Amino acid sequence: MTPGKPTLTPKERMAISRVKMREQDAGARARNFKEVNQGLDEYAAMEEAKRCLDCKKRPCVAGCPVGVRIPEFIVKIAEGDLAGAAAIMREDNALPATTGRVCPQEKQCEELCIRALKGEPVAVGWLERFIADWAAAHSAPPAPPAVRTGRKVCVVGSGPGGLTAAGELARLGHDVTIFEALHAPGGVLRYGIPEFRLPKAIVDAEIANLEALGVKIECDVVVGKTVTVPELLKEFEACFVANGAGLPVFMKVPGENLKGVYSANEYLTRVNLMGAYRPDALTPIAKGPVAVVFGGGNTAMDGVRTAKRLGSSRAILAYRRSRAEMPARVEEVAHSEQEGVELMFLVAPLELLGDERGWVRAVRLERMELGEPDASGRRRPVPVKGSEFELPCDIAIVAVGTSANPLLTATCPDLKLNKWGNIEIDADGMTSIPGVFAGGDIVRGGATVILAMGDGKNAAGAIDRYLKTAPPRDEPGRP
């Protein structure tokens, strides 16, 4: 294909129907951890890119938390200028191979796509994934900027928010160090999102790109314990706190400490970070014929699909609202059903029942119906009297959210928190301590990869402006 000016008329573009994603067969993939989506080939990607009308309003860009210049990279793909498309992507998005896989596009760029008004939106997410994977295979890693500012900035946490901020700051020429508590970087991309949705090789490659930009990553540093934020401020001129979600929330029903009952965090960490799905893994994971997962978000979906892959013949998602209220990505819900996951709506657990050895054997559930809308705008589930029933199970996974991580904030008393323990920030992402910025789940209390990345990108810009107003230190490290 020769690059050149696209010649299609809008009518011709409108006539092209949305591409289909190649997927691993549902029966096969329900028994393995290989990626479900197989990606678009170059021809399919170019055809899909031609569907973009390159409209004036560009509503998709407004819908993107990191502001990727979506029509510009898509037009480049349509023209066959893949290197050009990759260059745009690299400038705008630090983790495109990740967001192309895990963003809820249907609620962001694709929802706002003008083509969605009449038919299906342009497959922005799939095109993003295509160009990110193409770039990983065909282009050289990015080089550090020629101009170095010599300003030292640290980032707490190497999840999507921290990685994005670090990448942006490094591209601006700052000297960036990330501190990660676990033994491997990536945060939720590493311990939370399963291999079948986001292969760890992709995470490794995205992180390698950031390291090529000059970002330094130190693992095994638990900020708040190993070092405190006030200590870091003696060495670094600014700090971005993105230490993520904290303690898993349990449902406060009897029996939650029975054996076989996991928080989704523990279940997924054992499988993803520790590799417990591999036969030779040293870290164990409990398995059983029936697994029940409580929750309706992406973490719950990841948990129930993982249980299916670990051999549960019945993997059941029990959600207290209905399908319409599920926060999970639509694609994941569809994939899970193809894989044989059972979705059970309008049920809430009352109690987990154990056997004589202390293992969970069943959950007592109660049926719910939808009442008036609550604070979130979703209809509140109300118990149906006399509707209790027992569902036998061997594994129960609680995926109903997390509370704020207390480790960092406990040793940084000047940091202003809200009543839930989340860090308060201003419009620039700055906390109550000058030079300390924060974003992602520690601020939002649980959101998405892309929102954390948006926070990281915004904070990086604000940190850059902050450094310009603060005089450089004569001797960094010796205040």
Partner 1 sequence: MFQVLSNDTLAAQVHRLVVEAPRVARARLPGQFVIVRLREGAERIPLTIADADAQRGTITLIIQAVGESTRDIVAVPAGGSIQNVAGPLGKATHIQSWGRVACVGGGVGTAVLYPLARALADAGNEVTTLIGGRSASFVILRDELAAFSKEVLVTTEDGSLGTKGFVTAVLDALIADPARRPAAVFAVGPLPMMAAVAERTKPHGIQTIVSLNPIMVDGTGMCGGCRVTVGGKSRFACVDGPEFDGHQVDYQELMARLKTYGEHSCRLEAAIREQEKEAAR
Contact residues: partner 1, CB under 8 A: 181-183, 191, 219-222, 225-227, 245-248, 250, 256-257, 259-260, 262-263, 265-266, 269-270, 273-275, 281-284, 286, 357-358, 405-407
C-alpha 296 chain-centroid distance: 15
Q: Give the DSSP per-residue string, 332-373.
A: HHHHHHHTTPEEE-SEEEEEEEE-TTSBEEEEEEEEEEEEEE
What is the 3-class SS of 442-479, one letter each residue?
Answer: HHHCCCCHHHHHHHHHHHHHHHHHHHHHCCCCCCCCCC
Nearer to partner 1, 137 or 282 (CB): 282
Smallest gap, in angstroms, from Cβ of residue 199 to partner 1? 18
Nearer to partner 1, 282 or 375 (CB): 282
Smallest gap, in angstroms, from Cβ of residue 119 to partner 1? 43
**Residue 410, SS3 per DSSP:** helix
Q: Residue holding tokens 């899909």?
A: 48
Smallest gap, in angstroms, from Cβ of residue 336 to partner 1? 23
Nearer to partner 1, 100 or 248 (CB): 248
Amino acid at 76: K
Report which of 440, 458, 436 is spatially closest to residue 449, judged by C-alpha positions: 440
- End-to-end, the C-alpha distance of the chain in Å comes to 59
Nearer to partner 1, 225 or 465 (CB): 225
- The C-alpha atoms of residue 59 and residue 67 are separated, in whole angstroms, by 11
Smallest gap, in angstroms, from Cβ of residue 183 to partner 1? 4
Question: Tokens for 398?
Answer: 């609680």
Smallest gap, in angstroms, from Cβ of residue 252 to partner 1? 8
Q: Which residues contact 389 (CB under 8 A, 6 or more apart)?
A: 364, 365, 367
Element (H, E) at 239: strand 238-241
Nearer to partner 1, 46 or 408 (CB): 408
- The C-alpha atoms of residue 151 and residue 59 are separated, in whole angstroms, by 36
- The C-alpha atoms of residue 105 and residue 99 are separated, in whole angstroms, by 9
Nearer to partner 1, 80 or 230 (CB): 230
Nearer to partner 1, 61 or 273 (CB): 273
> Partners of 176 in the beta sheet?
153
Q: Give the DSSP per-residue string, 265-299.
A: HHHHIIIIIS-TTSTT-SS-----SEEEEE-SSHH
**Residue 443, SS3 per DSSP:** helix
Nearer to partner 1, 99 or 263 (CB): 263
Smallest gap, in angstroms, from Cβ of residue 74 to partner 1? 38
Q: Residue holding tokens 């170095």?
A: 148
- The C-alpha atoms of residue 61 and residue 67 are separated, in whole angstroms, by 5
Nearer to partner 1, 64 or 188 (CB): 188
Smallest gap, in angstroms, from Cβ of residue 424 to partner 1? 21
Amino acid at 263: S
Smallest gap, in angstroms, from Cβ of residue 305 to partner 1? 19
- The C-alpha atoms of residue 272 and residue 142 are separated, in whole angstroms, by 28
Smallest gap, in angstroms, from Cβ of residue 221 to partner 1? 7
Q: What is the DSSP letter of 423?
A: B
**Residue 151, SS3 per DSSP:** coil
Nearer to partner 1, 438 or 467 (CB): 438
Smallest gap, in angstroms, from Cβ of residue 370 to partner 1? 30
- The C-alpha atoms of residue 425 and residue 164 are separated, in whole angstroms, by 18
Nearer to partner 1, 98 or 269 (CB): 269
Q: Which residues contact 140 (CB under 8 A, 6 or more apart)?
A: none
Report which of 305, 303, 323 is spatially closest to residue 378, judged by C-alpha positions: 323
Smallest gap, in angstroms, from Cβ of residue 225 to partner 1? 6
